[in-house]
Amino acid sequence: KDSLLYVSDNFGYLYVYDYSLNKIKWAKKFNAPFRSNIKIKDNKLFLADENNTLLIINSSNGNMLRKIPTEQMLVKNDFISNISMSDNSIFFMNTFGSLYSINAKSLKMNWFLNLNTSIDINLDNLFYSSEIKINNDNLIILTKNSLQVFNYLDGSIIFKIPINSLIPPIINNDYIFLVNKNNYLISIKLTTGEIIYSYKLNKLI
């Protein structure tokens, strides 16, 4: 409903607040602090805790529908697991660097990939990703070392470019726009990975 606000916190509580009635509809305590955004689809809440467990919860009463445990990270950084969704699938990126595709109706796994190519997991080399973007059949994922585009139906990679950006990728029709650490505005063709242009921003202003 439009009047309901779903809130999770770092103490492991999940709340549903009805601001039209100015009251909490229900609140429940879970085993671990939450560490992701929240998505809602078909009366289901999708969110993850700090142990990289994806929780699927009935939005009407807070009952657990399913838990999907994934790789845990003993060392925590500022990266928060993020969740995105298409018409039929939920996409979950955990802090270890694994991307999961889950059928939104059956709650079964479609496929998963690990995007963390480093075997050196330490405080200086932890995984980071911006929010997952979806455009048509494409998943656009920007990590600290690369831009990667996948087919969201089967997880096959379309292209990977070793590039960084100070901002999350901006998608406009068939183009991706980034600003790298050297302050260049870069336009990339979404379907091929071709770099269309690269302009130094301080020269344009």
- DSSP code per residue over 100-111: EEEETTT--EEE
Mind listing the pLDDT tens digit of every residue in the chain (205 residues)?
578 999 999 899 999 999 888 999 999 999 899 989 999 999 999 999 999 999 999 999 999 999 999 988 776 666 677 999 998 999 999 988 899 999 999 999 999 999 886 655 554 456 778 889 999 899 999 988 899 999 999 999 999 999 989 888 999 989 999 999 889 999 999 999 999 999 998 765 5
In this prediction the pTM is 0.85
What whole-number distance in Å separates Cα of residue 48 and Cα of residue 68?
9
According to DSSP, residue 119 is labeled: S
